[in-house]
Chain A
Amino acid sequence: MKIKSLLIANRGEIAIRIIKTARKMGIRSYVIKTAKEPNAWYLEEADQIIDFSESYDDVIPEFLDIERIIQSAGKHKVDAIHPGYGFLAENPDFARRCEEEKITFIGPSHDAIYRMGHKTIAKELARENSVPLLDGSQGALSDAEEARKIANKIGYPVILKAAAGGGGRGMRVVEKEKDIERMFTLATNEAEKAFNNPDLFLERFVREPRHIEFQILGDQHGNIVHLGERECSIQRKHQKLLEESPSPALDSALRKKMGEAAIKIARSVNYYSAGTVEFLLDDDNSFSFMEMNTRIQVEHPVTEMVTGIDLIEQMILIAEGEKIPFTQKDIKLNGWAIEWRINAEDVQSGFSPSLGTIEKISWTENEHIRVDTGVRDGSVITPYYDSMIAKLIIHAETREKALQQSSMAIRKFWIKGPKTTLAFCRAVLQNRNFRKGKFNTSFLSKELKIHYQNEPDEALLAAFFATYDYAREMDENEEKPLHTENGKAITPWVLKKRLR
Chain B
Amino acid sequence: MARSAKKKKTTKLIALSSTNKAYEFKKPLQKRIKYQGEEVDIKLHEDPNGFSYIVWKNKKYMLDVIEKKQNRYTIMVNSVWHSFTVETPVSLKRKRFLEKQGDASSSVSIEAPMPGKIIDILVEENGEVKEGEPIIILEAMKMQNEITSHISGIVQSVSVKKNELVMKDDVLIEIRKG
Contact = CB atoms under 8 A, between A and B. Distances in A.
A373 to B, nearest CB: 16
Given A415-B79, A470-B73, A470-B86, A349 B54 contact: no
A416 B17 contact: no
Interface of B: 10, 13-15, 17, 21, 23, 25, 27-29, 33, 35, 42, 44, 49-51, 54, 56-57, 61-71, 73, 75-82, 84, 86, 113-115, 119, 134, 137, 139-144, 146, 168
A362 B51 contact: yes
A352 B142 contact: no
Nearest to A453: B80
Contacts of A423: 78-80
Interface in A162-191: 168-169, 182, 186, 189-190
Contacts of B33: 464
5 contacts: A352-B113, A414-B49, A423-B79, A452-B80, A464-B42
B76 A419 contact: yes
B63 A465 contact: yes
A53 to B, nearest CB: 23
B168 A462 contact: no
A459 B82 contact: yes
B114 A350 contact: yes
A488 interface: yes
Interface residues of A, number: 55
Contact of B137 (A186, A457, A465): A186
A60 interface: no
Contact of B62 (A168, A169, A387, A414): A414
Contact of A416 (B44, B64, B77, B81): B64
Given A360-B49, A460-B35, A465-B54, A352 B25 contact: no
Contacts of A348: 80-81
Contacts of B27: 471
B79 A459 contact: no
Contacts of B51: 360, 362, 414, 416
A419 B137 contact: no
Interface string A230-242: 0000000100000
Given A349-B114, A349-B168, A471-B29, A458 B140 contact: no
Contacts of B81: 346, 348, 419, 462
Contacts, number: 154
Contact of A360 (B50, B77, B79): B50
B143 A168 contact: yes
Nearest to B63: A465
B140 A353 contact: yes
A459 B61 CA distance: 11
B84 A463 contact: yes
Interface string A329-348: 00000000000000000101
Interface string A465-482: 111111100100000000
B63 A190 contact: no
Nearest to B69: A487
Contacts of B54: 461, 464-465
A189 B146 CA distance: 13
Contacts of A457: 56-57, 61
Given A468-B29, A469-B68, A487-B70, A458 B114 contact: no
A480 to B, nearest CB: 12
B29 A190 contact: no
B142 A169 contact: yes
Given A349-B114, A414-B62, A452-B80, A190 B68 contact: no
B144 A190 contact: yes
Q: Which 5 A-B pairs have the closest CB atoms?
A: A352-B114, A463-B23, A466-B73, A463-B15, A462-B82
A366 interface: no
Nearest to B137: A186
A43 interface: no
Given A462-B76, A466-B75, A470-B71, 17 more contacts: A169-B142, A186-B146, A348-B80, A352-B168, A414-B62, A416-B62, A419-B66, A422-B79, A426-B78, A454-B77, A459-B17, A462-B75, A463-B17, A463-B84, A465-B75, A466-B15, A470-B86
Contact of A467 (B66, B86, B141): B86
B25 to A, nearest CB: 5
A383 to B, nearest CB: 8
Contacts of A346: 81
Contacts of B15: 463-464, 466-467
B79 A419 contact: yes
A193 B143 CA distance: 10
